[in-house]
Amino acid sequence: MLKNIALGIKAYFGAFSLISELKLWKFFAIPMLISFVIALLIGISAYGLSDNIGFYISKLWIWDWGKETFTTIGNFIGGFFIILLGLILYKHIIMALSAPFMSPVSEKIEAHLTTDLEHNHRTTSFTEQLWRGIRINVRNLCLELLLTIPVLLLGFIPVIGIISTVLLFLVQAYYAGFGNMDYALERHFKYHESIQFVKRNRGLAIGNGIVFMLFLLIPVIGVILVLPLSVTAASTETIKKLLKTT
């Protein structure tokens, strides 16, 4: 597990140069635009809705003393939940909508790395790739939300709250890496086979997703570059794993 996490992270170091070498930047133009627009909409929503959520949270405080302080805390909590939900939705929306553009990228990376991959390549259309991306990401979104809710509740328990933060980050990282790996797996495996492959290589997904999530902390540039670098890194390591299984 730890070795695969390290491999998933290490793959990013050669991602930028590989994109330039294979002239892949043109394939990322639309996904980068999608990423920027979705991130902008989520940011605006978080800013606008945090006060509304904070208002309802403040209703829980029935006393006059400390009302202003509790309202401020409520606004912060409201903003946090909106941003958290936004990050979860952001990942899956951009990955689903970018699927038809990312599949050719992973295919070119595969052709660059090897010509001897014995898997039978599945030929799929733009629509089929988009539907596959939506299907995978809706599944992952539902599972991620189911895991996130109890982890968030643990966060309110003293001491355990620190562990909750780490678990929350790793859950998000896993599903981010999952989506990035599926662009390469789409040509080789059907839906359920891909899920099993990622489960066997959880560390690789987590490693890729860790850097993905950290990129989102970088203002503007992060949401623009996160897809090109994460998809390239994930495709490289996924294809290497596929080679070892042949």
Please tell me the predicted confidence (pLDDT) of residue 157.
Answer: 75
Would residue 143 count as lying in a domain? Answer: yes
Instruction: Encode 83-110: b = buried (16+ Cβ within 10 Å), e = exposed.
Output: bebbbbbbbbbbbbbbbbbbbebbbbbb
Helices (H) and strands (E) in the chain, counts: 9, 0
Count of the separate structural domains present in the chain:
1
Would residue 12 count as lying in a domain? Answer: yes
Would residue 129 count as lying in a domain? Answer: yes
Answer whether 105's CB lies under 8 Å from 232's CB. yes
**201 Cβ neighbours under 8 A, 6+ residues apart:** 4, 181, 238, 241
Domain that holds residue 111: 2-41+100-245
CA dist., res. 120 & res. 111, Å (int) = 14
What radius of gyration do the chain's Cα atoms show?
Answer: 20
Would residue 92 count as lying in a domain? Answer: no
CA dist., res. 116 & res. 49, Å (int) = 53
Please tell me the predicted confidence (pLDDT) of residue 2.
Answer: 84
Q: What is the pTM of this model?
A: 0.84
Residue numbers in the chain where pLDDT is lower than 50: 117, 119
Query: Could you tell me what percentage of the chain is helix, strand and coil, using 3-state DSSP and rounding each to the nearest 5?
Result: 85, 0, 15
Would residue 86 count as lying in a domain? Answer: no
**73 Cβ neighbours under 8 A, 6+ residues apart:** 57
Would residue 212 count as lying in a domain? Answer: yes
Q: Which of 6, 216, 207 has the alpha carbon at shortest distance from 94?
A: 216
Phi first, then psi: what are they for 69, rounded to 5°?
Answer: -65, -45
Please tell me the predicted confidence (pLDDT) of residue 55.
Answer: 64
CA dist., res. 66 & res. 242, Å (int) = 59
Q: What single-letter amino acid sits at 180?
A: N
Would residue 48 count as lying in a domain? Answer: no
Would residue 93 count as lying in a domain? Answer: no
Please tell me the predicted confidence (pLDDT) of residue 238.
Answer: 92
